[in-house]
A = this chain, B = another copy of it.
């Protein structure tokens, strides 16, 4: 049976090319339970594979044919083949995080098979520190990053003693024991709005106008930069976590939000990185930052959504002082959110579409390298589980997001909070953004510089 696919979802299929695969990913690190080894965790996954129960979402594949009038639709894959989707990998010696990130970079570079449900789970053994890793890859047409995170959380437990838990891809029947982590409903909102409009030419015109509008919160002019060029298909992924306490400490001392500090860290790191490549633009880089406009409203369930917008944030990469960069970011975010709250519904609509589905809209807008980029990169901050989570007693020890670079947007930074840490996931075009892993060191430098700047 064919089920219709929302236009936003099919846009992700249509916009995909070998230069920009349209899947998101996450890297999970598991600490084996007391007295167990990484291979015991693998054995638990092996057992889960043996059960062969798969959630309906993970059984549907895209289909386009004459019977669907050329439109993309979903259908259940009747020859579903779990072994294709769940794969065993191993790290070459010495099995450091370096080798793990190299493997994830490669796994994230390849296209999913469109004849099958659009996901892969890669189980990874051979980490020298005794942990077990999993890289999960899912097409953006199936779920967005936020939903993927939410789904993952649902398959885990806050109870370290729970056993006989189903596989991450299996149907999850039981009610959650704890309140679910509250997801950012960005994408749901975008889907709802875009669906209502059919994402037609009118919407595209509105968004294009908004992008080119030189007034209001969109007035920031992003400089041309090395990040705003056409990209290639190979990816480089780098990731690292920092304690929320350190970031919150800086925020408290400077009267800024955690998100401001995250953005300031990115700002300082990008400045240092681009300086090292002799590629720092004279004026500040502008980041596009998706933000929630309101708190929970009616219809905040899975099917509803809240108004969500995008703030264009001046990162202050032209400033030499870490404290000044944080102040610039804080002011820019505050002004941007203020501007958003006074926008008309249609303006918010345009912003929403822009802010939430830029990945889908981007290729449709056909921005070229000769134009000024509307912004230099997207930096998202997605809230994840607040408590430590477990799968059959194995503690989820780290959770790192992988996102989607695009032509004109060669680097994506997505942050995820989990338990007491914030993980930074950097996904870049391997050719356009060289030595991406150096950004991790620069992020660390910048957090220390911010602490010094606020007197910690």
Interface residues of A (CB under 8 A from B): 18-19, 39, 42, 79, 81, 84, 87-93, 99, 102, 106, 109-111, 113-116, 123, 125-126, 232-234, 430-431
CA distance A330 to B90 in the complex (A): 46
Q: Are B126 and A233 in contact (CB under 8 A)?
A: no
Q: Are A81 and B111 in contact (CB under 8 A)?
A: no
Identical subunits present = 2
**Cross-interface CB contact of A233 among B42, B90, B93, B111, cutoff 8 Å:** B111
Which B-chain residue is minimally distant from A18 (CB atoms)? B111
CA distance A19 to B84 in the complex (A): 15
- Could you say which residues of chain B place their CB within 8 Å of the CB of A116? 232, 234, 431
CA distance A232 to B149 in the complex (A): 29
Interface of A is mostly: loop
Q: Are A126 and B234 in contact (CB under 8 A)?
A: no
CA distance A74 to B39 in the complex (A): 47
- Could you say which residues of chain B place their CB within 8 Å of the CB of A92? 42, 88-90, 123, 125-126
**Cross-interface CB contact of A234 among B84, B102, B106, B109, cutoff 8 Å:** B84
Which B-chain residue is minimally distant from A230 (CB atoms)? B115
- Could you say which residues of chain B place their CB within 8 Å of the CB of A90? 89-93, 126
Which B-chain residue is minimally distant from A126 (CB atoms)? B90
Q: How far is the CB of A234 from chain B (nearest CB, A)?
A: 5
Given known pairs A39-B93, A92-B88, A99-B88, the reply for A431 and B114 (CB within 8 Å) is no
**Can you list 10 A-B contacts (CB < 8 A)?**
A81-B431, A84-B234, A88-B92, A109-B113, A113-B233, A113-B234, A114-B233, A115-B232, A115-B233, A116-B234
Q: How far is the CB of A25 from chain B (nearest CB, A)?
A: 15
**Cross-interface CB contact of A431 among B89, B91, B115, cutoff 8 Å:** B115
CA distance A15 to B19 in the complex (A): 17
Q: How far is the CB of A34 from chain B (nearest CB, A)?
A: 22
Given known pairs A87-B106, A110-B111, A232-B116, the reply for A431 and B93 (CB within 8 Å) is no
